[in-house]
């Protein structure tokens, strides 16, 4: 078998080239390129970790800002409610004061009107009394022909008007 004999002759040469190829691959790729790739991967992992940490810090800061905003919003709402309540109370006091002033003015006008009515009523009663006295005197003159005493006629008419 000539192929086997040829293998034995080239066996040492093949082992040499095999070792040389594996040595080249080991030194160039294993010792040269792999550490560089691992360094790139580590840098990338560190960058990702740093980015994640800064993102967590940003989220935490955003939560703090939101909590601060909510607190300021609640404080502003409470202040607005307080101002609104004070404005309502002030409005109620002003309205009450105006109503009291209007009531006082109306009471004065009513009192003046009642005084006018009383005066008009007294004046009307005086006129009615005078007309009734004259009518009574004329009736007495027509019926009896005698002239009655004016004071007696006045007292009689007053008594009739009072008692009906």
C-alpha–C-alpha distance, residues 30 and 53, integer Å: 33
Position 138 confidence tier, pLDDT thresholds 50, 70, 90:
confident
Residue with tokens 């019926």: 143
Residue 127 in this model has a pLDDT that exceeds 80: yes
Mean pLDDT of the chain: 88
Which of these ranges, 68-82, 87-101, 130-144, has the smallest mean pLDDT? 130-144
Q: Degrees (nearest 5) of the Cα angle 121, 124, 125?
A: 85
C-alpha–C-alpha distance, residues 90 and 62, integer Å: 41
Q: Where are the alpha helices (DSSP H) in 1-33?
A: 2-25
Chain centroid to CA 78: how far? 9
Half-sphere exposure of 71 (CA within 13 A, CB side): 6
DSSP class of residue 1 equals -
Of 134, 163, 162, nearest to 150 (Cα)?
134
Q: Degrees (nearest 5) of the Cα angle 107, 109, 115?
A: 100
The sign one gets for the Cα dihedral 21, 24, 30, 34 is: negative
- Position 94 scores a pLDDT of 94
C-alpha–C-alpha distance, residues 134 and 137, integer Å: 5
Each residue's pLDDT tens digit, 3-51: 666 666 677 788 888 999 999 998 888 888 988 999 999 999 999 999 9
> Can you give the length of the chain in residues?
164
pTM: 0.42
Decide: 159 and 130 in contact? Cβ < 8 Å: no
Residue with tokens 């040389």: 20
């Amino acid at each position: 078998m000539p192929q086997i004999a040829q293998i034995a002759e080239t066996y040492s040469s093949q082992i040499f080239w095999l070792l040389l190829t594996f040595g080249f691959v080991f030194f160039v790729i294993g010792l040269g390129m792999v550490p560089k790739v691992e360094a790139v991967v580590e840098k990338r992992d560190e960058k990702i970790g740093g980015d994640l940490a800064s993102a967590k810090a940003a989220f935490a800061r955003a939560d703090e800002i939101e909590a601060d905003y909510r607190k300021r919003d609640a404080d502003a709402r409470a202040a607005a409610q307080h101002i609104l309540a004070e404005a309502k109370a002030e409005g109620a006091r002003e309205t009450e004061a105006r109503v009291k002033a209007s009531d006082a003015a109306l009471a004065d006008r009513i009192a003046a009107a009642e005084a006018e009515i009383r005066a008009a009523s007294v004046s009307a009663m005086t006129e009615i009394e005078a007309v009734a006295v004259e009518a009574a005197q004329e009736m007495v003159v027509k019926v009896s022909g005698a002239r009655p005493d004016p004071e007696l006629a006045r007292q009689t008419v007053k008594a009739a008007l009072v008692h009906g």
